[in-house]
Amino acid sequence: MGYRHLAALILPSLEPRPCLALYSVHSFNALFFAWKPLLADLVTTIGVLGLPLLAAILFAGSALLMKRTTRWGIEIWRVSFVCNVVSAVTFQPFWLLAGDLPAWSLWWQPLVVALMYVVGQVLTLTSLSQGEISVAAPVLGLKIVFVPIFLWLLGAGLLPVSTWLACLGATLAVMLLNTTDASGDRGKVVFSLVTAMSGAAAFALFDVCVQLWSPTWGRGAFLPVMMGMSTLLSFVLIPFFKQPLRSIPRDAWPSLSGAAALIALQAVAIVASVAFWEQVAVSNVVYSTRGLWSLAAVWLLGRYLGASDSSLTPRVLLLR
256 vs 265: CA distance, rounded Å: 14
pTM of the model: 0.74
What digits encode the pLDDT tens for the residues 191-250? 888 898 999 999 999 999 998 998 888 878 999 999 999 999 999 999 989 899 999 999
Orientation angle between helical segments 51-69 and 133-140, nearest 10 degrees: 150
188 vs 67: CA distance, rounded Å: 14
pLDDT of residue 22: 46
| b/e 245-254 (16+ beta carbons within 10 angstroms → b) | eeebeeebee
Kindly list the domain boundaries of the chain, sorted by start residue.
60-241+252-319
99 vs 77: CA distance, rounded Å: 35
Share of the chain above pLDDT 70, in %: 74
Q: Which residue has the higher pLDDT, 8 or 245?
A: 245
Range from 12-21, 163-172, 311-320 carrying the lowest mean pLDDT = 12-21
DSSP letters spanning 193-217: HHHHHHHHHHHHHHHHHHHHHHHHH
Share of the chain above pLDDT 90, in %: 33
Cα 211 from chain centroid (whole Å): 14
Q: Whole-number mean pLDDT of the chain?
A: 79
Asked if 223 and 214 count as a contact pair (C-beta separation under 8 A), the reply is: yes
Residue 8 pLDDT greater than 90, yes or no: no
What digits encode the pLDDT tens for the residues 276-312? 888 887 888 888 888 778 777 777 765 555 555 555 5
